[in-house]
Chain A
C-alpha cells in the first residue's frame, strides 16, 4: 500500500502558466480533498470529492479546478497561476467522509 501519493514534490511556475497537481490513493477511499497550507493560516480546504463524479468547493476554491473520474485519482488544476497561489498543497483521502483522513506528502509550489 503506497497510501496517498502526490506529484510533483516541487514546482516553480511563472505567472499565467497552467499545471496539474496529481494525487492518487490505493486504499479505495471514497473521500478525497485538497488543502493548501500557508504560514499562520493552517490548512484550508480548496475542493473535495465524496466519490467518483462528485466534487464540491471548499473554503478557497477560486483559481482551482478539480475532477474525479476514478476513485483513485483526484487532480488539482491551476488554470492561470498567480503569485498568491504560492503554497504547499496537500491531498488527503478518507474511507468514511471526513473521518480519519490521511494526507499525502505534499507539493511545494512557487509562482514567480
Chain B
C-alpha cells in the first residue's frame, strides 16, 4: 500500500524567511496530494492541494510542487509569519484504490518573530 515519508520533522525559521517541507510517496498511481495545517488543539485544515496533471500550484504565500518521476512533492511558504507556526501534514491518494488518503508524519514549523 501507499507510504508517505515527510521531512523534516521540525523546522524553525525567522519571520520573513522561507520554509520548505518535503514528502515522498511510494505508490506511483497516486495522483492527489493535499497539505493540511493543524494549529495546537485544533482540527487539520486543508490549505492547498495538487493533482498529478500539474507540476506546481500557488496560493498567495503558499506553493506546492510535484515531481511525479521522483515521487516527491514539496510545500513552500514564503515570507513566513508567526501565525504560520503549526504542524503541517502532507498526504497522498490513489483514487483508483478507493481513494484512501495516507498522511505523512507531520512537520512542526516554528516561525520566530
On A, residues with C-beta under 8 Å from B are 31, 33, 35, 40-45, 48, 50, 56, 58-59, 90, 97-106
Contact = CB atoms under 8 A, between A and B. Distances in A.
B36 to A, nearest CB: 8
Contacts, number: 63
Nearest to A106: B43
Given A59-B102, A97-B95, A98-B95, A42 B89 contact: yes
Contacts of B91: 43
Interface of B: 1, 6, 9, 32, 34, 36, 42-46, 49, 89, 91, 93, 95, 98-106
Given A31-B99, A103-B45, A98 B106 contact: no
A70 B51 CA distance: 30
Contacts of B95: 97-99
B49 A98 contact: no
Contacts of B89: 42-43
A43 B34 contact: no
Contacts of B42: 105
B4 to A, nearest CB: 8
Contacts of A35: 103
Contact of A102 (B9, B46, B93): B46
Contact of A99 (B1, B32, B45, B102): B32
Contact of A42 (B1, B93, B105): B105
Nearest to A44: B103
Nearest to B90: A42
Contacts of B93: 97-99
Nearest to A43: B103
